[in-house]
Amino acid sequence: MNNPARGLRQLMRSLYKNRWAYFFIMPKFLLFLVFIGIPVVWAFIISFQKFRAFDTVWVGLENFRQVLSTGLYRKAFWNTVKYTLVTVPTHILIALILASLIHPLSKRAQTFFRAAFYLPTVTSMVIIAMVWRWMFNSRFGLLNYLLGLFGLGPIDWLNSSNWAMWAIIIMSILTPPGVGVILYLAAMASIPESLYEAAAIDGAGPFQRWVKITLPLLKPTTLYLVILSTVGSFQVFTQVLMLTGGGPGHATTTLVTLIYETAFRDGNFGLASAQAIILFGIILVISLLQYKLLHSETEY
C-alpha cells in the first residue's frame, strides 16, 4: 500500500530538485494562465449567462439555443466554410508545388527562396490588408486596371455582395504560404535518396517518383498543414475587418467577426461566449475527422 506521506515527500523533493526549471517556466505559465487559461474558463461559464455589465442572469442553454436558431449565425458559418473550402486546399497545393520546385535547387538557392516565401508571414496582416484594399478599389485599383486591359470590369469588389467574399479569398490565396513551403522543404530533405535511386533504376520518371514516393511520405506533414490551415481559416478575422467589416449585408460575416460584433458592438458577452464555444466544437470535430482520414504511420 502506498504511503501518502511518503509520496508527498517524494513530490516535494522532486519540486525542490527541479526548482530552477520551474522558476524559468513560471513567467510563461503565468502569462498563459492570465491571458488564455482564465479567459477560456470564464468564457465557458458566462456562455450559460445573460452577461452584461450591470445585468447578469443565469439562463442555462438559452444562449446556445439562440445561436443555433439565428439565421445570421448560419450565414456566418457558411461564409466561413466557403472561405475554408477554397483557401485550405489551394494553400496546401501551392505550398507543395513551390516546395517541390525549390527542393532540387542548391542549398544557397533554397535558403533564398525560404526567406522570400516566409517573409510575408511575419508582416502584419493589417498592412497586407491595407495594400489589398487599395488593389481592390473600384475606381483606381490595380485589379480593375488589369481587367480593363482585357476589356473587362470594373468590378466593385468590396461593396458587392457577389464579389466581396471572393475578394477576401483572392487576397488569402495570393498571400504566399510561407509556413507550408518551409515545412514541406524540411520533410522532403529527410526522405532517403536511396528510395529515389531505386525507383529511377526501375525506370520511374521524375513525375512518377514524385507521385509514388514524395507525396505518400509527405502525408504526415500534409495532415499537420491541413489541420493548421483549417483552424486558421475558421478563425479568419483581420482580413474581413479591414476589407469589408463583414458587409455588404453580412455577405462576408464570418464566425469570428460575428463573435466580435456580438461581444464588443452589442455588449452581449454571454451570447458571444456561446458562439465561441460552438466554434471550438466545430473546429475540434473537423480536426478529428481530418486526422482520421489523413493519419499515417509512416514518417521521415
What would the DSSP string read from start to end of 196-228? HHHHHHTT--HHHHIIIIIHHHTHHHHHHHHHH
Per-residue pLDDT, 64: 92
Three cell numbers, residue 234:
475558421
Q: Which residue is listed with cell 473546429?
A: 283
Structural element, H or E, at residue 49: strand 49-52
Per-residue pLDDT, 77: 95
Structural element, H or E, at residue 117: helix 107-118
pTM: 0.86
In order along its 300 residues, the chain shows pLDDT tens digits of 456 777 778 878 887 788 888 888 889 989 999 998 998 999 899 999 887 666 678 888 899 999 989 899 999 999 999 999 999 999 999 999 999 999 989 989 999 999 888 888 888 888 999 999 999 988 888 898 988 888 887 899 998 889 999 999 999 998 888 899 999 999 999 888 888 888 888 888 888 888 888 888 999 899 999 999 999 999 999 999 999 988 888 999 999 999 999 988 888 889 999 999 999 999 999 999 988 887 765 555
Per-residue pLDDT, 141: 87
Torsion of CA 132, 134, 140, 145, to 10 degrees: -20
φ/ψ (deg, to 5) at 51: -100, 110
Spatial separation of the C-alpha atoms in residues 227 and 233, rounded to whole Å: 10
Count of C-beta atoms within a 10 Å radius of residue 59: 18
**List of domains in the chain:** 4-46 (no CATH), 65-294 (1.10.3720.10)
CB 254 within 8 A of CB 76: yes
Count of C-beta atoms within a 10 Å radius of residue 135: 19
Structural element, H or E, at residue 55: strand 55-58
Q: Which amino acid is at 189?
A: A
Three cell numbers, residue 297:
504511420
Q: How many residues does the chain have?
A: 300
Per-residue pLDDT, 233: 94
Q: What angle do CA 195, 199, 204 make, to 5 degrees?
A: 145
φ/ψ (deg, to 5) at 58: -75, 120
